[in-house]
Amino acid sequence: MPTERSELIGRIWERDPTVWTGADESKWLGWLDEPARMRERATEIADFADEVADEGLDAIVLLGMGGSSLAPEVLRRTFRVESFHVLDTTHPQAIRDLESSIDVENTLFISASKSGGTLETRSHTDYFWEQSGKVGARFVAITDPGSELEQLARERKFRHVFSGEPTIGGRYSALSPFGIVPAALMGVDLARFLDNALRMGELCRRDDGNPGYELGRQFGTGWQNGRDKVCIHETDGGFGLWAEQLIAESTGKLGKGLVPAPGESPDGPDRQGVEPQIADPYNLAGEFFRWEFAVAVAGSYLEINPFDQPDVQAAKDKTNEVLATGDEPDVAPEGSIDELLEQANEGDYVCVQAFIQPTDENDRRIADLVRKLRRRSGVVVTHGYGPRYLHSTGQLHKGGPNTGLFLQVVDDPGEELPIPGKPFGFRRLIRAQAAGDYASLKERGRRAARVELEDI
């Protein structure tokens, strides 16, 4: 249970792991100092971005998942940068569409993975390495020191390797090189951006008027009072995409968890509403820090370790099992929407897990489905594209409370698209990911059904 306000705030800044569970939390608090570290590196990174800009490249493509892709995606949308693309899907048609929309020989590819071994990112990297003619000057890596990706980047003579901070987990990495290098390449003024984060960091040291603490206390006391659905007001930049990973992966474990629900109405006995404060795009840096601090505070109320992700590996293991068989993954329909909704209880939520091609048309189809499910069930409805959500909200789905009803939606991914050096291609990979996560949910006694896109 959280202690008195000033003591709790002080203990977080002192890196006291007993704020949470007394485990290894103190090793994952590098994000508290990262705005200052990155401010010192701002000129170096901005000079690199200027050098790239002077070459007049047609596009920049970030290859990443979860913590490595969600902050850049929100930055891209918030600052409205059309020439910057984020690839965080294994759907073969999406990869083909991206490739056809750019000149791969006049594009800079950023391979971003903290661990350096993320299957999707490595597959994307190897694919575009082949397609672009194996020119190291067209690739940049962002990864933690000593990773496999760092070694690969050195071997292939990538243009640059930006080292991440090992004491920061992926979902807390928005203000580290994983967010700041992409921001610079988008033309964001790094000094102005990071100064916003530094100001918020100072405010989050205060006993009174501490915006991070106040938000975290709202999350925590709301959870204690049964308001475990965090309804995040929509922003033009899609802030909820980033915030839902931070909240879900940090708190969704040990049968507990806050359920992030971007765009949902806060009206209801199991809900609490919150509105991101982004009056100016540059405020985004301060919001990143405020929400990071808030979720750390909320973790003390839930009495969990906000910095681990004990159930994320389950779906990866199941995916690897499916791929290892060499057979076509089984993603046949199972159950129905009607049967799934019949199992809904008060306080539950529905989650649409769409292993389909991310397009504007499919966005509309999923939005229509969400509205129908909301009307029919009367409960909170969330949604995410697979495999993106596996690196975002997937921890909550399997480690959080058994209050979710999961509707997996699959499509026909089209012809196989080979992955260099792998015995499988992107088609089989995305279907294995769908099959693996579904099996993992069922293994944990979760209520789930699978339907095809054309039937919704």
Residues 160-191 have pLDDT tens digits of 999 999 999 999 999 999 999 999 999 999 99
pLDDT digits (tens, 9 = 90+) for 145-157: 999 999 999 999 9
Query: How much is the pLDDT for 285?
Result: 98
List b or e across 260-292, with b for residues whose CB sees 16 or more CB atoms inside 10 angstroms. Answer: bbbbbebebebbbbbebbbeebbbbbbbbbbbb
CA atoms of 136 and 134, how far apart (whole Å): 6
Residue range 246-271: mean pLDDT, rounded: 98
Query: How much is the pLDDT for 314?
Result: 84
SS3 of the chain: the string is: CCCCHHHHHHHHHCCCHHHCCCCCHHHHCHHHCHHHHHHHHHHHHHHHHHHHHHCCCCEEEEECCHHHCHHHHHHHHHCCCCCEEEECCCCHHHHHHHHHHCCHHHEEEEEECCCCCCHHHHHHHHHHHHHCCCCHHHEEEEECCCCHHHHHHHHCCCCEEEECCCCCCHHHCCCCHHHHHHHHHCCCCHHHHHHHHHHHHHHCCCCCCCHHHHHHHHHHHHHHCCCCEEEECCCCCCHHHHHHHHHHHHHCECCECCEECCCCCCCCCCEEEECCCCCCCCHHHHHHHHHHHHHHHHHHHHCCCCCCCCCHHHHHHHHHHHHHHCCCCCCCCECCHHHHHCCCCCCCEEEEEEECCCCHHHHHHHHHHHHHHHHHHCCEEEEEECCHHHHCCHHHHHHCCCCEEEEEEECCCCCCCECCCCCCEHHHHHHHHHHHHHHHHHHCCCEEEEEEHHHC
Instruction: Give the percent of the chain with pLDDT over 70.
Output: 99
Residue range 288-313: mean pLDDT, rounded: 97
Query: How much is the pLDDT for 315?
Result: 85
Residue 33, pLDDT > 70, answer yes
Domains assigned to the chain: 5-22+201-302 (3.40.50.10490), 33-188 (3.40.50.10490), 312-455 (3.40.50.10490)
Sequence-distant (6+) residues with CB within 8 A of 223 are 251, 256, 258, 298, 301, 302
Residue 361, pLDDT > 90, answer yes
Residue range 118-137: mean pLDDT, rounded: 98
pLDDT digits (tens, 9 = 90+) for 365-375: 999 999 999 99
Q: Is the peptide bond before 387 cis (omega within 30 degrees of 0)?
A: yes
Residue 2, pLDDT > 70, answer no
Query: How much is the pLDDT for 3?
Result: 62
Query: How much is the pLDDT for 142?
Result: 98
Confidence of residue 11 (pLDDT cuts 50, 70, 90): very high
CA atoms of 158 and 165, how far apart (whole Å): 20
Average pLDDT, whole number, for the chain? Answer: 97
pLDDT digits (tens, 9 = 90+) for 192-251: 999 999 999 999 999 999 999 999 999 999 999 999 999 999 999 999 999 999 999 999
Adjacency order of strands within the sheet including 59-63: 84-87, 59-63, 107-112, 139-143, 160-163
Query: How much is the pLDDT for 1?
Result: 54
Residue range 387-411: mean pLDDT, rounded: 97
CA atoms of 227 and 283, how far apart (whole Å): 28
Instruction: Give the percent of the chain with pLDDT over 90.
Output: 98
Residue 61, pLDDT > 60, answer yes
Residue range 274-291: mean pLDDT, rounded: 98
| Contact of 138 with 129, CB cutoff 8 Å | no
pLDDT digits (tens, 9 = 90+) for 301-353: 999 999 999 998 888 999 999 999 999 999 999 999 999 999 999 999 999 99
| Contact of 263 with 276, CB cutoff 8 Å | no
Confidence of residue 4 (pLDDT cuts 50, 70, 90): confident
Query: Cα-flanking dihedrals φ and ψ of residue 230, to 5°?
Result: -95, 105
Query: How much is the pLDDT for 278?
Result: 97
CA atoms of 440 and 390, how far apart (whole Å): 11
pLDDT digits (tens, 9 = 90+) for 155-168: 999 999 999 999 99
